[in-house]
Amino acid sequence: MVAESLITLLKLSSHSSSIKICVEGNIGSGKTTCLQYFSKTSNIEILKEPVSKWQNIRGHNPLALMYQDSERWGLTLQTYVQLTMLDRHLSSANAPVRIMERSIFSAKYIFVENLFRSGKMPEVDYAVLSEWFDWITARIPIHIDLIVYLQTSPQTCHERLKQRCREEEKVIPLEYLESIHQLYEDWLIRQTSAPLPAPVMVISADHDLQKILCQYEKNHDKILGTSTI
């Protein structure tokens, strides 16, 4: 009875009249720039990835540990990522439009999948995470109106990572970005790897900052008026 009551409350919290948009893309694709642009629009709620939580859970940094030893710490990090992203999805909306950085879906379809396919996550760990994900998504409707995919080449992402010099990202090789890119393309462009939770708008994000901002300006109304797409 307690479990059923909890699920009912979670379902109620997931329903809202607000428009929900998820910005997806590789590491270094420009998600932060996208969120910053739309944050200047009134009546917009921005939810960034809770990276600070992934970097410090009771004094531990599971994000850094995962990059150092994926086979040992992949399950630890991705379990916490799944929890924190679910919390983001189910939190009460504070504006008519909510834009969220990534989603629980990309956490599973991209990053967990990449760990498993690359041989850096044991099959039993992958099975556990998959069971949790399937349980959550089968019982709790997670509504998304639009996915904005910042399509960026792995080479461009790699150059941007070198420029911004985040501590955890110093060990990320180009090959890792290529794998993430391939999974995103399979999911959001070719639509061959996993179901889409929402329509997809593709923004080419390989350009310099000014050109990218012009694309956001051009597509501003289409993105925020997702009910008409």
| 26 in a labelled binding site | yes
Q: Cβ distance 188 to 110 under 8 Å?
A: no
Q: Which residues pair with 208 in a beta bridge?
A: none
Any binding-site annotation on 33? yes
Where does residue 28 fall: left (phi above 0), alpha (psi -120 to 50 degrees), or beta otherwise?
left
- Least Cα distance to 212 among 45, 47, 29, 46 occurs for 29
Nearest to 44 by CA among 108, 117, 96: 96
Check whether 78 is labelled as a binding-site residue. Answer: no
To the question of whether residue 161 is assigned a binding role by annotation, the answer is yes
Q: Which of the following is catalytic: 4, 101, 123, 175?
A: 101
**39 marked as part of a ligand binding site:** no
Is residue 164 a known part of a binding site? yes
Any binding-site annotation on 48? no
Is 189 one of the annotated binding-site residues? no
175 as an active site residue: the answer is no
Q: Where are the alpha helices (DSSP H) in 91-201?
A: 104-106, 113-117, 123-139, 154-164, 174-184
Task: Give the annotated binding-site residues for ATP.
Answer: 25-33, 160-164
Provide the annotated active-site residues. Answer: 101
